[in-house]
Amino acid sequence: MKSNGLVSITDYSKDDILHILDLAEQFEKNPNTRLLEGKLVATLFFEPSTRTRLSFETAVNRLGGRVIGFSDAATSSSSKGESLKDTIKMVSNYVDLIIMRHPVEGAARYASEVAGVPVINAGDGANQHPTQTMLDLYSIKKTQGKLTDLTLSMVGDLKYGRTVHSLLMAMRYFNPRYNFVSPPELRMPEQYRAFCKENGIEYHEYEDMNRILNETDILYMTRVQQERFTDPVEYEKVRNTYSLHNSMLEGTKDNLRILHPLPRITEIAEDVDDNPKAYYFEQAKNGVYARQAVICSILGLV
Amino acid sequence: MKASKTELIVRALENGTVIDHIPANRLFKVVSLLHLDETEDKITIGNNLRSEKLGTKGVLKIADRYLQPEELNKLAILAPNAHISIIKDYQVVEKVRLSMPNDIVDVLQCVNPMCVTNKEHIATRFHLLDAEKGTVKCHYCERVINREDCILK
């Protein structure tokens, strides 16, 4: 499945997704291999994201590859006004694969068109972050034993949350049922509700999280960001309403697992962490395996 | 009476292009799209004419000029139901039907200010999603845009 990279989750078919998830399972069993021996990978982070960068760099290092790059645009020549095209052209002379994060939407697609080597999108503004989606899918499959016929409840900022949008689209192959729980101002956008209708996916919208907890298989929590609100009083109200506490998990299904792309602030209380249904830290760990799978697949090494 | 007048003006065009059935509120957008405000070609502009289909419509008659494929593609986005007649020697020799192209290259500007096409020097590209609804998707930032919200480059 050698390709010119992974920019958007929509680049992957159902078979591609299942193939990557199988590979990720193999890497989990045996994370240290020499598959990337002799290969050089660039991690170009035009905006800082320590969590994502460390996950990718761990994946490369555990595969025996080497990494060059920068973790902040301030330390790169783009701060001198170099165009994205020139930076990408230059770096693609040096390496076998580019992993990039950029605050501008579509930057990774553009980079993949001008680079001579494959590009993996590690987040382009509010648009896409496909390896996050792959690790979410892997976490769902691992905890539920399957991807099909599950009830997923997405809670919090459904308007700007790019992880929920990508997950929503990727799950279309697996007959999901969705609950969208958010304040009215952060409702799931029309584009994605229309997507559900076109694909015959059942969804329901709620403002109260308590109404859906007992029927949920996967509870996908997201962070509500203060900057989305003009009125600080509104923000405080919403922040407290969309907060999960351990006591709320009584009566929920045994197979329920709680996911969160992290970092979490107040949307999951710390008393949830010790509940066996909390899965967000393992979810982050799964990111390394999912990224190992994506990298090796793109380079045609597996 | 009205029909014969329209016919008269069409006939009066020896060679050139007639664009009929332009929605009245888009007529001047079409004028600037085709750069008719800068041309020295002879042009006849009619607007707010009665139309059974549209209510009101605009008509453009351009002497000695035939539209290029990329101009027709742009026109298809602004006025998908316009009728185009090519006139040679006072005769309608061809009627062109417009269709939204599947790939719209460097015609529209992305409405998303954070899109890479608004930050770097790149040709824009949109994919047609639904010709009937007129929705397009930016190839780069993946934003879905409705025809009414499209901005011409």
Which of A103, A110, A128 comes nearest B142 by C-beta? A128
pLDDT at B1 over 50: no
CA distance linking residue A14 with residue B138, whole number of Å: 23
The partner residues of A266 in beta bridges, in order of sequence, read none
Higher pLDDT: A225 or A221? It is A221
Q: Do A104 and B114 touch (CB under 8 A)?
A: yes
The residue to which tokens 């190992």 are assigned: A292
Active site members of A: 51-52, 80, 101, 129
Summary count for chain B: helices (H), strands (E): 3, 11
Cis peptide bond prior to B80, omega within 30° of 0: no
Decide: helix, strand or coil at residue A198: helix
User: pLDDT tens, B110-145?
Assistant: 999 999 999 999 999 999 988 888 889 999 999 999
pLDDT at B10 over 70: no
Which of B116, B127, B132 should be substituted to probe chain A, the one whose Cβ sees the most A Cβ atoms within 10 Å? Answer: B116
| Apex A119 CA angle, A157 and A283, nearest 5 | 40
**Mind telling me how many Å the CA of B104 is from chain A's nearest CA?**
16
- Residue B100 near residue B51 (C-beta atoms within 8 A): no
Q: What is the DSSP letter of A189?
A: P
Banded pLDDT at A178 (limits 50, 70, 90): very high
Q: In terms of Cα–Cα distance, which of A216, A205, A207 is closest to A254?
A: A216
Provide the terminal-to-terminal Cα distance of chain B, rounded to the nearest Å. Answer: 40
Which of A105, A112, A168, A195 should be substituted to probe chain B, the one whose Cβ sees the most B Cβ atoms within 10 Å? Answer: A105
Set of chain B residues whose Cβ sits within 8 Å of the Cβ of A78: none
Tokens of A247: 């006591």
- Residue A83 near residue A57 (C-beta atoms within 8 A): no
CA distance linking residue A282 with residue A136, whole number of Å: 11
Q: Give the orientation angle of helix A280-298 with respect to helix A50-62, to 10 degrees.
A: 50
Tokens of A273: 């962490």
Tokens of B121: 């020097």
Tokens of B8: 């008269």
At A227, the amino acid letter reads: E
pLDDT at A228 over 90: no
Question: How high is the pLDDT of residue A152?
Answer: 98
User: pLDDT tens, B102-115?
Assistant: 898 888 899 999 99
Q: In terms of Cα–Cα distance, which of A296, A302, A290, A297 is closest to A130?
A: A290
**Mind telling me how many Å the CA of B23 is from chain A's nearest CA?**
27
**C-alpha separations of A170 from A18, A128, A137, B84, B129 in Å:** 11, 12, 8, 43, 19
pLDDT at A78 over 80: no
The residue to which tokens 């290259």 are assigned: B105
pLDDT at A294 over 60: yes
